[in-house]
Amino acid sequence: MTKKVFVEKEQLEEIVKQYPTPFHLYDEKGIRENARKLNAAFAWNKGFKEYFAVKATPTPAILQILKEEGCGVDCSTYTELMMSDALGFKGDEIMFSSNVTPKEDFQLARKLNATINLDDITHIDFLEETAGLPETVSCRFNPGGEFTINNEIMDKPEDAKYGFTRPQLTEGFKKLMAKGVKHFGLHSFLASNNVADEYYPILAGILFQTAVELKEETGADITFINLSGGIGIPYLPEQKAADVAKIGEGVRKAFEEILVPAGLGDVAIYTELGRYMLGPYGCLVATAIHEKHIYKDYIGLDASAVNLLRPAMYGAYHHITVMGKEDQPADHLYDVTGGLCENNDKFAINRMLPKIDIGDLVVIHDTGAHGFSMGYNYNGKLRSAEILLKEDGGTEMIRRAETPADYFATFDFTGLFKDVK
């Protein structure tokens, strides 16, 4: 089976003339349309807001597009807060969800009046001592155990380092109220990259019931519930994409069955999606520069795990298209590799593809989230540019490629590399 690339071969060849490979390419039209689908799916909730997970794609031009589509941002670090502030996200447009949080991060979050989502009960005192408590605080819930859908284990929250236990939530809410906190949010993340339409409604039911219990136990004013991320994308061509309209309707039913009868019908629903928002609308464009035939057949690209870490780190599948050869038989067995001095620097292992010739453009799909952002500089490799394919068909460089001067910049105090460019 195949996956369609959002750019045609002839158009991509023109782009490559202007921007040398490798680079990440993003589809503005697809990003905007997807954001509108999400907003429409939750339009029944008057307070709904998507807080895009900045860690997935921390690129100002992408964040600006999402801002124009009504999204806020979910930040987890000092620099993500700085970037969001620079782009004009203000106050409750910023959700700060972190863990093992340095005091400086909390202090900046408070300065920006971001909504703080606490990861641990000990952070109550830490936040109060280092930055002061705001009037609104959210708490992250970890129910423990295993999370299942239709008797299939989707993940094991008990193994995750995040969140309050259920008893800690009640204790934490009471403690925060005693310290003057007036409004509360509730948050949880139970499974990653889940394409099952049932996931969000099941998660919503758990959080909604927990909110009802917390209100009864503490009298807290719960103003929002954050369903976090977890909606996945179909990395495999045979996978079915999640139906966000169906997901939104499932959450609505749980809302009306659980929250409305409990007097919580005004609670706002938040999401903080990353992969779902951006994943399919980015790809890594590379060129085949070497081939090797020993015990296996290898195709070497000018990209590496520096540009896309997920396959090396997780063994994650990313579909590969050889541009112009989409209709040719996939009758060659390849490992598709980068040039790092690590044997796991492979985009695909034992992948059946059309015959790849030196100079072919190779597109690696679904890199719009957790693609560029997970890059690094092992072997002194330099991270690539990011290019935006605009709605009008034009292109814009939204992040330039790194240069040796960037790599050596943190040694500027030595004077050894002052002339490097």
pTM value is: 0.95
Architecture of the structural domain at 28-279 = Alpha-Beta Barrel (3.20)
Q: Do domains 28-279 and 280-412 have the same CATH topology?
A: no
Cis-peptide, bond into residue 404, ω within 30° of zero: no
Residue by residue, pLDDT tens for the chain (421 residues) are 789 999 999 999 999 999 999 999 999 999 999 999 999 999 999 999 999 999 999 999 999 999 999 999 999 999 999 999 999 999 999 999 999 999 999 999 999 999 999 999 999 999 999 999 999 999 999 998 877 776 565 668 888 899 999 999 999 999 999 999 999 999 998 888 889 999 999 999 999 999 999 999 999 999 999 999 999 999 999 999 999 999 999 999 999 999 999 999 999 999 999 999 999 999 999 999 999 999 999 999 999 999 999 999 999 999 999 999 999 999 999 999 999 999 999 999 999 999 999 999 999 999 999 999 999 999 999 999 999 999 999 999 999 999 999 999 999 888 888 778 8
The top-level CATH class assigned to 280-412 is mainly beta
71 classed as catalytic: no
pLDDT value for 152: 65
Residues 175 and 168: their CA atoms lie apart, in Å, by 10
Tokens of 403: 């240069």
pLDDT value for 145: 80
Domains of the chain, by residue range, sit at 28-279, 280-412
**Residue tagged active-site, from 71, 75, 283, 341:** 341
CA terminus-to-terminus distance, the chain: 44
